[in-house]
């Protein structure tokens, strides 16, 4: 058990080091020996967890996947909004999430398959939209997979623009504006009127999700 905990810690140390090195040098120019010296682990330890530079990058990319679960909502459209707002909030506050997103936007990273995060997020959106459709929240013409792709793609650009223009200071209000522009062509008016799209939504959902995670861990430990 102690060994397992140590292995998990080592893995996280290596990933954090890789995130930092990729962020400073770009995927292309980064080297495994830079990551080794940043992490302060042995070559053997690194290769025990990761086989290659691409493998390390995929590890960083996967860090933006949901570990924090948004509590279920009666409105599945609100749940989509909450997933998006939570992700924006974590992007502002969590260096690992930021490194993963930047890597997935690195259009210069030859030989790195960056499609994973786009496709995984699109699947999350597609599932929630299908459930929203089943309970009558969507306008009749909406194709869930297409709308999910539009949401994921435009979010990716909105965050990049916010970083370029002001280092993420206005990210939350830009994401809120995006939602106000997209959802009226997706959602029936009565649902639209009941949505919380406010700037503070991300922070609220984050607090809720952390509390839920702590309760889960406590109950698992007892």
Binding residue for a second copy (CB under 8 A) from 102, 137, 144, 209? 102
CB 185 within 8 A of CB 146: no
23 binds a second copy (CB under 8 A): yes
95 binds a second copy (CB under 8 A): no
Q: Name the DSSP class of 75.
A: S
Interface with a second copy by CB under 8 A: which range of 64-72, 75-83, 100-108, 204-212? 100-108
CB of 207 to a second copy, least distance (A): 27
Binding residue for a second copy (CB under 8 A) from 97, 104, 126, 128? 104
CA distances from 214 to 70, 71, 83, 209, 219 (A): 13, 13, 19, 9, 9
Question: Tokens 């962020």 sit at which residue?
Answer: 23
CB of 195 to a second copy, least distance (A): 13
- Decide whether 149 or 208 has the Cβ nearer to a second copy: 149
d(CA 214, CA 219): 9
156 binds a second copy (CB under 8 A): yes
204 binds a second copy (CB under 8 A): no
CA distances from 93 to 16, 83, 119, 189 (A): 15, 15, 24, 33
**What three-state secondary structure class fits 187?**
strand
CB of 164 to a second copy, least distance (A): 4
C-alpha of 125 from chain center:
12
CB of 118 to a second copy, least distance (A): 5
157 binds a second copy (CB under 8 A): yes
Scanning residues 161 to 180, which ones bind a second copy (CB under 8 A)? 161-165, 174, 177-178, 180
Instruction: Label residue 24 exposed, middle or buried (CB < 10 Å: 0-12, 13-18, 19+).
Output: exposed
* Residues within the interface to a second copy (CB under 8 A): 22-29, 101-102, 104-110, 114-115, 118-119, 146-147, 149-150, 152-165, 174, 177-178, 180-186
């Amino acid at each position: 058990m102690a060994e397992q905990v140590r292995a998990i810690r080592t893995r996280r140390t290596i990933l954090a080091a890789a995130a930092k090195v990729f962020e400073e040098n770009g995927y292309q120019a980064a080297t495994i020996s830079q990551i080794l010296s940043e992490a302060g682990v042995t070559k053997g330890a690194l290769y025990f967890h990761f086989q290659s530079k691409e493998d390390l990058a995929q590890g960083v990319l996967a860090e933006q996947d949901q570990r924090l679960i948004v509590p279920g909502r009666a409105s599945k459209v609100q749940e989509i909004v909450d997933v998006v707002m939570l992700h924006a909030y974590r992007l502002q506050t969590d260096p690992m999430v930021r490194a993963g997103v930047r890597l997935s936007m690195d259009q210069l990273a030859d030989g790195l398959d960056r499609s994973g995060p786009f496709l995984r997020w699109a699947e999350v959106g597609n599932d929630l939209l299908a459930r929203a459709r089943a309970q009558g929240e969507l306008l009749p013409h909406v194709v869930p997979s297409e709308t999910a792709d539009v949401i994921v793609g435009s979010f990716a650009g909105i965050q990049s623009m916010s970083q370029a223009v002001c280092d993420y200071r206005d990210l939350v209000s830009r994401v809120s504006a995006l939602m106000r522009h997209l959802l009226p062509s997706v959602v029936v008016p009565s649902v639209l009127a009941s949505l919380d799209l406010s700037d503070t939504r991300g922070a609220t959902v984050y607090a809720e999700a952390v509390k839920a995670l702590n309760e889960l861990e406590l109950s698992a430990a007892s």
